[in-house]
Structure 1
Amino acid sequence: MTIETVSETKCFGGNQGVYKHESTSTGTPMTFAVYQPEHREGEKLPVLWWLSGLTCTHENAMIKCHYHKACAEHGVIFICPDTSPRGEGVPDDEAYDFGQGAGFYVNATQAPWSQHFQMRRYIEEELPALVAENFDVDMDRQSISGHSMGGHGALTVSLRNPDRFRSTSAFSPIVSPMNCPWGEKALSNYLGDDRDAWREYDACALIEDGARIDHLLVEQGRADNFLDDELKTWLLEDAVREAGMNAKIVMQEGYDHSYFFVSTFIAEHVKWHAERLKA
């Protein structure tokens, strides 16, 4: 599978690259960012996948997350995919919370979205295969994280693929799209009105239905203006408690929904993942 190098920049001794390829999942060009710490030729490094939130591209986390130093110190590759297909002929919506920039990491089944919005397939199948072929990644050592809509993505991708990831974390995740305005809008339009079809894209529903993962860390700011209506962290707290899952959910005083919050704690998350990736 062929990739095009958009840019490469040295950072903390490693390489921050941006790459583009023609996606068979979305039927569009897709762009993603990869940070590779300095390493010996041929050495395979563990990987931490990062899924971003509403309105974001690959670039938001690359610029605002400040993961580079921690990844360089711990020898972890960090990958930031885009959040949706884009381009001419790709359907969109005027609202920020639907359409381009708001793929919700689902495989859409409803027209006109189903032709291009196949982000679950892209994240779970196509991009990992592409990365394994083109970068020094140890695919036996993978972890996943994300923010907001991307936190939802990280939780659900991990819960559906529990043997793939050694650890999972999320910042300010949408924990139950079935029970918030953002999620109800996206899932109804992408998947239709059958709410049973939504359950595989809802972390709390997946846990209720028997999905389990080890090593889960969630960071949530108490001053997040989306907490009460959209994120509803307490629903995940209830779900993991009832399931007896090994999870740590941290409520941070004074922090909001922004990348200022994420950048404050990202180094701790990278270290936490690295300990499990190298165990």
Structure 2
Amino acid sequence: MTVETVSENRSFGGRQLVCRHRSSETGTDMRFSLYLPPAAESGPVPLVWFLSGLTCTEENFTTKAGAQRVAAKHGLAVVAPDTSPRGETVPDDADAAYDFGLGAGFYVDATAAPFDRNYRMASYIETELPEVLAGAFPVDGRRQSIMGHSMGGHGALTIALRNPDRYKAVSAFAPIASPINCPWGQKALSGYLGRDEAEWRRYDACALIEDGHRVGDILVDQGLADGFLENQLKPELLEAACGKAGIPLTLRRQEGYDHSYFFIATFVEDHLDWHAERLTSEG
């Protein structure tokens, strides 16, 4: 598969790339950013996935989070995919709302028309893009971890829970803890999957845990000044599900922090330290 380099910048001794390729899953061109640390010059390095939130592209985390310095320190590659398929033929929200359609793929494989043609972000992240990366870049597919923000935090948690043997660590910033139980999630899941709520459960972290899916441990940071906290994010539901299932959850409630990338940039080093520890351990 051909991968085109759209841009390349030197950063902390490594290479910050933005790439484009044709996706068989989405039927569109897809973009992703990839940071390769200096250690990648000597051979394959561990790979951390970052899944972004509503309205974002591959650019937001890449330019705002300040992750490159920490990734270089630990010798980690970091990939940030786009959040949805894009293009003139890709269906969007009827009212062009920010929380559905373009920029709001919710990391699901849509089954409801017309979105089922292009919105296959679960398979894109879980299957196609890993193969693209392994074929073109010095990344170690045996050492992967995943994290994300908001909608992307939901994506990271659910993908990790469905693939517990693939990811050595999972963390999230202000994740949508239970899409089944919030307006954002109810709109997205009904629009992409239809009205059968049993089909929604594989895209809800709390439901997956209730249904027996497990990961080793989870790190979550949540700002207490986040305007979406009570109505959309509901970390207490994840806390309860993990507690009942015996999954170690480190849920850090951060006084005064909101939903922005200022929040993410403040704590991204902690998260990458968490991932590096698990990616480089022998266990």
Structure 2-normalised TM-score? 0.98
Which position in structure 1 is the counterpart of 2:10?
A: 10
Q: CA deviation at 1:215?
A: 2.4
Distance 1:12 1:215 in 2: 30
Question: What letter corresponds to residue 120 of structure 1 in structure 2?
Answer: A
- Displacement of 1:113 in angstroms is 0.4
Which residue matches 1:185?
187
Query: Which amino acid in the other structure matches residue 87 of structure 2?
Result: G
Name the aligned partner's letter for residue 13 of structure 1: G
State the Cα distance separating 1:40 from its structure 2 match.
5.7
Picking from 155, 166, 169, the partner of 1:167 is: 169
1:43 is aligned with what amino acid? G
Return 5+ residue gaps in structure 1 as ranges.
Answer: none
What is the CA distance between 1:39 and its match in structure 2?
2.1
Amino acid at match of 1:111: A
Q: Distance in 1 between matches of 2:217 and 2:211?
A: 19
Distance in 2 (alpha carbons) for counterparts of 1:99 and 1:128: 24
**Aligned residues of 2:150 and 2:173 also touching (Cα < 8 A):** yes
C-alpha separation in 2, matches of 1:48 and 1:176? 23
List per-residue Cα deviations over 1:89-137 (Å, max 9, x = no partner).
0001210000000000000001110000000010000000000111111
Matches within 5 A, 1:138-217: 138-217=140-219
Residue type of the partner of 2:199?
A
Listed one character per residue, the Cα deviations across residues 18-41 of structure 1 (whole Å, up to 9, x for unaligned) are 000000000000000000011264
> Percent identity, aligned pairs only?
59
Q: Is the 8 A contact 2:40 2:138 kept in 1?
A: no
2: CA distance, partners of 1:272 / 1:188: 34
Equivalent residue pairs, number: 279
Relative to structure 1, the CA distance from residue 41 to residue 16 in structure 2 (aligned partners, 3 Å threshold; closer, same or farther) is closer
Gap change, CA 1:130 and 1:223, over 3 Å in 2: same
Please, what is the CA RMSD of the aligned residues? Answer: 0.7
Q: Tell me the equivalent position of 2:101.
A: 99
- What displacement does 1:247 show? 1.6
Aligned to 2:23: 23
- What amino acid does structure 2 have at the position aligned with 1:15? R
Task: State the Cα deviation string for residues 133-152 of structure 1 (Å, max 9, x = none).
Answer: 11111111100000000000
1:246 shift after superposition = 1.6
SS in 2 for 1:86: coil
Tell me the secondary structure at the aligned position of residue 39 of structure 1: helix
Deviation readout 1:33-89 (Å, 9 max, x if unpaired): 000011264511001000000000000000111101000101000000000000110
Which deviates more, 66-75 or 36-45?
36-45
C-alpha distance in 1, partners of 2:183/2:259?
17
**Equivalent in 113, 121, 124 of residue 119 of structure 1:** 121
Q: Show structure 1 runs of 4+ deviating over 6 A.
A: none
Contact 2:55 2:99 in 1 (8 A): yes
The alpha-carbon distance between structure 1 residues 196 and 263, as it changes in their structure 2 partners (threshold 3 A), is: same
Paired residue type of 2:38: E
Q: Distance in 2 between matches of 1:42 and 1:199?
A: 42
Contact 1:214–1:247 (CA<8 Å) still a contact in 2? Answer: no
Contact kept, 8 Å, 1:219 with 1:249, in 2: the verdict is yes
TM-score by length of 1: 0.99
The answer for the alignment partner of 1:32 in structure 2 is 32
Q: Which moved more, 1:41-50 or 1:250-259?
A: 41-50
**45-54 or 246-255: bigger deviation:** 246-255
* Residues 166-214 of structure 1: CA deviation (Å, up to 9, x unaligned): 0000000001000000000000010000000000000000000000001
Whole-Å separation in 1 of the counterparts to 2:213 and 2:250: 17
User: What secondary structure is seen at the aligned counterpart in 1 of 2:259?
Assistant: coil
